[in-house]
């Protein structure tokens, strides 16, 4: 499912990223690649706040829609 549909306070694993070169470079700089675990901190109005390896990032809805995740086991 796209990250924009993810629930707060749940840990997810990145399955794939459906972006172009520019967005993929940005994701790579954050350490966001397939297999990465992240936790959704906030997902309501405005940007989605996620925690990746202890760092928090704000992602706009457009970027977040390119990140496909599944619930981490």
Q: Determine the pLDDT at residue 22.
A: 78
Name the pTM for this structure. Answer: 0.89
Domain extent at residue 54: 3-71
CATH assignment at residue 66: 2.30.30.90
Element (H, E) at 63: helix 61-64
Strand, coil or helix: 69: strand
Number of folded domains in the chain?
Answer: 1
Residue 73 has pLDDT above 90, yes or no: no
Angle (CA) 17-56-16 rounded to 5° is: 10
């Amino acid at each position: 499912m796209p990250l924009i549909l993810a629930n707060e306070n749940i840990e997810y694993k990145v399955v794939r990223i459906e972006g172009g070169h520019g967005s993929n470079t940005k994701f790579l700089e954050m350490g966001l690649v397939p297999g990465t675990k992240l936790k959704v901190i906030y997902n309501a109005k405005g940007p989605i706040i996620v925690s990746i390896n202890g760092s928090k990032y704000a992602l706009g809805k457009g970027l977040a829609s390119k990140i496909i995740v599944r619930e981490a086991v």
